[in-house]
Amino acid sequence: MSTGSTNPLADLIAEKGVLLADGATGTNLFAMGLESGEAPELWNEDSPEKIFKLHQDFVDAGADIILTNSFGGTRHRLKLHHAQDRVFELNRRAAEIACEVAGKADRRVIVAGSVGPTGELLQPLGALSYEDAVDAFVEQIKGLKAGGAEIAWIETMSAPEEIRAAAEAAHKCGMPYTYTGSFDTAGKTMMGLHPKDIHNVVDDSVDAPVAVGANCGVGASDILASLLDMSEAAPEQTIIVKGNCGIPEFKGSEIHYSGTPPLMADYARLAIDAGALIIGGCCGTSCDHLRAMRTAIDTHEKAARPTVEEIVERIGPMRNKAANDSAPQRRERRGRRRAQAS
């Protein structure tokens, strides 16, 4: 699958301008019959036809980048399913399936090896040492590379130290890599990383990432606000946004996402205007949403950089208001609360 370039993303961005990454893995697999508590990665061997179909559906919807079904593919996640001794094989198979689909496409499709957090806290907050985290990510990324993945796609991260460990692992494996944080806690990651600081997480001891950004989080408006911070801090960088499909809401015992295809199309247009070069969907994003985003990306001419207020007006309210509101907005809200209380 390699093009001979150390950065296949740059090659395709040069050709197409803005790239469309794929949609949700977990929520789409649940729709295919995955049960709550099951490990999606086991389906790479137990139900490979369903993983083939998911990737094929994303490619048919217009994705330029598809992520392997390996988000929880470290030994730490797989041990919860007694599969910690199958890390290499499950990750290799994940990449092989995605590469087979990409190889049949009538255009260039990049296969990115999804690398999620271990689920463990690193020392001193938890028991996992930095060195053990690196080893776990190396084990996973070796499998993804053996299966043909072109990039290590480190995603949904909260702790800078864990991003660094995964980046070092990608470097050790000779893989270009990206990383994205999940800014789901008052506008920062759970471990306190601010969007504007996403560019400075790794040091000069490893190769630089080929792109950085945000994924998941709480809603489309929030991730666009995070994008404004990221692109303002480093406008020359290749930035990824892969936001949830609107806002998650419980209906009975099930989670539904509020985003419609037209809303996600507008999210894609705003993401372009705010400086993203790689745009995709995370939780709740179906192929219908992705098709609308493909059309939006292909037809949109980059416009003025939006404000947070414009984003809220077009996409809906933010859930991380405390961190993203301006001071005047906060004063106005406090005034309303005082008026209501009097």
Q: With H, G, I as helix, E, B as strand and everything else as coil, classify residue 284.
A: coil
Torsion of CA 273, 279, 280, 281, to 10 degrees: -30
In a domain, 18, yes or no: yes
Asked which of 69-73, 92-96, 150-154, 337-341 is least confident by mean pLDDT, the reply is 337-341
Q: What is the pLDDT of residues 36-63, one digit of tens each?
A: 899 999 999 999 999 999 999 999 999 9
**Can you give the pLDDT at residue 189?**
95
In a domain, 1, yes or no: no
In the chain, DSSP assigns E strands to 19-20, 65-67, 110-115, 151-157, 177-181, 211-216, 239-243, 248-251, 254-257, 278-281
Relative to beta strand 211-216, strand 254-257 is: unpaired
Q: Please say if the pLDDT value at position 269 is more than 80.
A: yes
- Does residue 247 form part of some domain? yes
Give the residue numbers spanning the domain of 157. Answer: 8-341
In the chain, the percentage of residues whose pLDDT exceeds 70 is 92
- Give kind and range of the element (H or E) at residue 10: helix 8-16
257: confidence class by pLDDT, cuts 50, 70, 90: confident
Domain presence at residue 26: yes
Domain count, the chain: 1
Structure tokens at 309: 């207020």
On whether 245 is known to bind a ligand per the annotation, the reply is no
Q: Which helix (H) or strand (E) holds 338?
A: helix 327-341
In a domain, 3, yes or no: no
Would you place residue 287 in the very low, low, confident or very high pLDDT band (cuts 50, 70, 90)?
A: very high
Angle (CA) 322 325 331, round 5°:
90
CATH number of the domain to which 23 belongs: 3.20.20.330
Is 2 a domain residue?
no
Contacts of 14 (CB under 8 A, 6+ apart): none
How far CA 212 is from CA of 13, 63, 161, 338, in Å, comes to 14, 19, 15, 41
280 in a domain, yes or no?
A: yes
Stronger pLDDT, 290 or 338, i.e. the higher one: 290
Q: Considering only CA atoms, which of 115, 91, 126 is closest in space to residue 166? A: 115
The alpha-helical segments, DSSP class H, found in 72-191 are 75-78, 87-104, 130-146, 160-172
Give the percent of the chain with pLDDT over 90: 85
Tokens 């893989």, residue located = 175
Q: What is the rounded CA–CA span in Å between residue 189 and residue 157?
A: 8
The answer to whether residue 176 is domain-embedded is: yes
- Asked if residue 173 belongs to a known ligand binding site, the reply is no
What does each C-alpha distance from 186 to 61, 223, 249 come to in angstroms?
A: 33, 12, 18
Give the separation between CA 223 and CA 217, rounded to whole angstroms: 7
Q: How confident is the model at residue 251 (pLDDT cuts 50, 70, 90)?
A: confident
Rounded distance, CA 204 to CA 192, Å? 22
Average pLDDT estimate for 132-154: 98
